[in-house]
Structure 1
């Protein structure tokens, strides 16, 4: 079957929310909250809209709601590039907490940058409770390169690349460019830890916030999907919480080899030992998979 190609242009933050009414979905299934990636929107019929329809066909009666970051689709797309991630997360937390349909809890699925944004929701906003988080190509240790953005001729891509390569940790760029907030430069670790407004905070790289740690461990499952031919996420190991070793830009380390895991700053080591972490891999480029693979590997976590 022809793959379902979900090119969210790059590191996309998207929100599709499947939630159930106050009395529960028609079939008793938990609601699902989805967040799209950069360059996508809540309501794109070729990406998140198609995923929503596919899930509803496979799980009849599930209630799906797509969260919009902004007042319309244009704002939603633009905010994926330029709205402070912390403000985006706060906006989503408010929407979820004010929705009576989600009181019993929900599952979450994030695509590309939307995956780490949903992890921030889990860490910062435990009510209503997130039960399972599915990260589809999410960059949990950030990125150190933009190989496609979405093409060499893109003016906005050139602008983003130049800003990240020279001024990623300046106050101006950090506050106004989403991708800078999860730019992780292993050659400038002190600058990253000091000035990263988003990623260094949710990854507990300055101080350990025990509330973040406790909230994340409330997840029943944390599923991470890595794309083995990913040409967009650099380094691709970030999709499994791995990254480049500090001080150089060639040698990788896995999550289990990292200080983050060894000191258990997020509670991931405890979750791993409890069988809560699930590492999945699929052939294909970024966010490119078949319906058969999705049905076999991800739908079981939503039923």
Structure 2
């Protein structure tokens, strides 16, 4: 059984300025997105689109900026609406207190979808083309964020058998019981494994929407599995059928990913035909 190493969340202190590890993981996520996005420009069909619809580094930069805005705004509003609606309806000004914590991936996803819809319309590009471009570049950012959660000692896992070699005690949890390091599970599943699957799948041109569909399906399944090892929010606990809020929010993603893939398969010809 391991003990959480109690990592100082502040990476660097310069006078009154504190640079937190969590902020640095977000920076790493944005850099990785830009690097992967520029590599994605070399993949079909983006590498052969000519004229006004041609893709460039400028598009990657604009998508990154809009994506950051979507993540922050959507993630915050999603947390307020999905997890603590009664509290934030009674205290609406607290919605703006982002420094107190509280972000939702599923809300961030909705914010990103809205941002990319605006990008697609303003550039007169098919929405599915934009979604397929972005999808493989996202999981490394998710992986970086989970490392940030681990460094902060937050979002720890449910209790585990102390004989599990990687079981870990998180004193922040208020007990000295062995727990699953669920942040690292999510890092491996939603981050690294999902990235490998999507990147390899997207290297070959697919029917419009199928790369984005695989992201929805893959993330939904991996997050659903990881939630069985993650301690549910104390103010919510487990909901109906013994599922957590995160699991219930993953079900529409899984169904949506399956539906989008099937719809694309039936409505579009195979690339190159």
Q: If the length of structure 2 is used for normalisation, what is the TM-score?
A: 0.31
Question: Greater helix percent: which structure?
Answer: 2
Question: Greater strand percent: which structure?
Answer: 1
